[in-house]
Structure 1
Amino acid sequence: MIVRETKKEDLARVADLHARSIRLLCQDHYTPAQIRAWTDVLNPVVYESALTAKYCIVACDGNTILGMGMLSLEDGEIHAVYVDPDQSGRGVGSLILSHLEETARQHDVMELTVFATLNARGFYEGKGYNAIRPALHSLPNGLQLECIEMRKRLDSAGTDAEFCRRITVPGA
């Protein structure tokens, strides 16, 4: 498995993975109507604008995208860590999050914020994020979803640097 920056030709597969992840992994925390409204706004165009505004990565096994992540280096906000539902619990999300954290360190971003879905709270807490408060995430279609604002202060040592170097393909 490797982590690399997202390419334009990945966007349709990223949109599909993101929607499948929401449909299957969030179903115990959000209503079917919320999930439908949430996934209806996901399409390659949404991700194309993110490619220029955010640091976007995918975790791959060969040509298969197993997960995706997005980070804003301007404000230190993690906008997404989603995995293929078939890969849930296999370390893909942890790998993506470690890579995003190391990239933040390399850009002198020493605190990260994430507005975590309700089902992802335990994942982020297990990675050292602290719940700050309940929040609402606004979708482009006006729907607001309950989430949890979480933060983590990064150490400057970059403890995951060697780990990230081993899994990243240079120049990919």
Structure 2
Amino acid sequence: MLRIKRATPADADEAFEIRREAIRSQCIGAYSAEQMALWTRGCASDGYSVLMEKLFYIGWVNGEAVISGMLDLANNEIGALFVRSAFAGRGYGKAMLDHLEDVARQHAVAQVVLDSTLNAVSFYQACGYVGHEQAVYRSPAGLVLACVTMVKKLAWDSGAAGSQSECLVT
């Protein structure tokens, strides 16, 4: 069972490691080895930890952190959606995305955007996101990566809103 909880500053290292592992295992072929090495260098305290101040969530399975995701309300943007490779293909990515969209609805966000990695475009399209033109993502650390900017209009369902702090997915 997947348990999604709001991250705390103490979760920054776990979130960073989920990200690092996901990039190194799932972005092969979409990005060069050099890009992936630059993208995954460092540690959470190099700047990634500040994301924990946003609506950042981690999904846990049997006490293990397996997926991360966040909603940046300032930009109505979903980001940092990464799943450990050993847990990919089990529906956890969709569950986290659904959770983030529910949180957005709770904050009266009518539309969300995201920058998809090239390897994840088909996943987001299957989840109702629209976008196909390649763009350029520029990270705060100066990394430049090809991406696809995607958007999804959120239907409002007052019964769909769950807890912002924790949700269970079986």
TM over 0.5: yes
Tell which has more relative contact order, 1 or 2 (C-alpha 8 A, sep 6+).
2
Deviations 1:56-86 (A, max 9, x none): 0001013200100011112211122100111
SS at match of 2:125: helix
SS at match of 1:33: helix
Match of 1:13 in 2: 14
Is the Cα contact below 8 Å between 2:132 and 2:149 reproduced in 1? yes
Is the Cα contact below 8 Å between 1:114 and 1:150 reproduced in 2? yes
Alpha-carbon distance change, 41 to 137 in structure 1, aligned in 2, over 3 angstroms:
farther
Alpha-carbon distance change, 74 to 140 in structure 1, aligned in 2, over 3 angstroms:
closer
Deviations 1:81-116 (A, max 9, x none): 100111111111111100000000000001000000
Match of 1:39 in 2: 40
Matched ranges for 1:99-118 at <5 A = 99-118=99-118
Q: CA deviation at 1:12?
A: 1.2
Match of 2:78 in 1: 78
Provide the aligned length of Structure 1 versus Structure 2. Answer: 166
Matched letter for residue 48 of structure 1: S
Matched letter for residue 156 of structure 1: W
User: Quick check: which one's helix share is greater?
Assistant: 1
The TM-score normalised by the length of structure 1 is 0.88
Matched ranges for 1:46-125 at <5 A = 46-52=47-53, 54-125=54-125
Gaps of 5+ in 2: none
Is the Cα contact below 8 Å between 1:37 and 1:143 reproduced in 2? yes
Match of 2:137 in 1: 137
Distance 1:90 1:72 in 2: 25
Is the Cα contact below 8 Å between 2:13 and 2:43 reproduced in 1? no
Matched letter for residue 67 of structure 2: G
Alpha-carbon distance change, 131 to 159 in structure 1, aligned in 2, over 3 angstroms:
farther
The TM-score normalised by the length of structure 2 is 0.89
Is the Cα contact below 8 Å between 1:118 and 1:147 reproduced in 2? yes
Match of 1:168 in 2: 167
Alpha-carbon distance change, 80 to 160 in structure 1, aligned in 2, over 3 angstroms:
farther
Matched letter for residue 84 of structure 1: R
Matched ranges for 1:137-156 at <5 A = 137-156=137-156
Distance 2:6 2:153 in 1: 24
Alpha-carbon distance change, 160 to 93 in structure 1, aligned in 2, over 3 angstroms:
farther
Is the Cα contact below 8 Å between 1:41 and 1:141 reproduced in 2? no
Range that drifts further, 4-13 or 42-51? 42-51
Matched letter for residue 75 of structure 2: D
Gaps of 5+ in 1: none
